[in-house]
Amino acid sequence: MRHRALAKSLATAVVIAALTTVGASSAAYAVPAPPLVAPQAATAVVNLGLTTTQAKHVQCFLAYGWEYNGAIDGALGTNSWKAMQRYLAAQDYSDYNGAIDGVVGPQTVMALQRALKRAWGYTGPIDGVAGAGTQAAFARFSETAKAYC
């Protein structure tokens, strides 16, 4: 009898241990891990030294004839730069033939520098670097663009 009682107790202990282990491991798998989601890329704002007001003027100009239909918020983001690239591509003197992708890379800046050299007093090199001279001429451009607001 003692043998059966010991065997029964041992069997009960094994079952309890097994259930505890299975329950613990099941619990670990019962709650799925959150799905891996790539972080959303923030829209890059590249005002090239313009104040918010000056950037709004540029957006008004771009909304007038270059398919910009975003907010006039003074933040030159991807859609603003796509419209600027359309403008630059339409100007023979800017020599822009890059993608209309809203990325302000060296090709976009060089085309902008050519446009700014033509009418807004840019005298620096066409080097794709938006330095102080490019930024000052872009600010003068924004004053002309103010007429479209």
Residue 113: domain span: 52-148
| Same-domain status, 82 and 10 | no
Q: What's the pLDDT score for residue 43?
A: 58
Residue 3 lies in a domain: yes
Chain mean pLDDT for the chain = 81
Residue pair 91/109 in contact by the 8 Å Cβ criterion: no
Q: What is the pLDDT of residues 99-117, one digit of tens each?
A: 999 999 999 999 999 999 9
Query: Residues with Cβ < 8 Å from 45, sequence gap 6 or more?
Result: 75, 76, 77
Which residues neighbour 135 within 8 Å (Cβ) at sequence distance 6 or greater? 48, 49, 50
In terms of domains, do 21 and 56 share one?
A: no
Identify the DSSP state of 49: T
User: Is the same domain home to 86 and 128?
Assistant: yes
Sequence-ordered alpha helix ranges (H) in 50-130? 52-65, 78-90, 106-119
Query: What is the sign, positive or negative, of the torsion defined by CA atoms of 66, 71, 74, 80?
Result: negative
Residues 69 and 137 both lie in one domain: yes
Per-residue pLDDT at 32: 53
User: What pTM did the predictor assign?
Assistant: 0.71
Residue 44 is predicted with a pLDDT of 80
- Chain segment 19-61, per-residue pLDDT in tens: 344 444 444 445 554 444 333 344 588 999 999 999 999 999 9
Within-domain flag for 45:
no
pLDDT digits 0-9 by tens, 82-100? 999 999 999 988 899 999 9
pLDDT, position 9? 43
Assess whether 58 and 127 both reside in one domain: yes
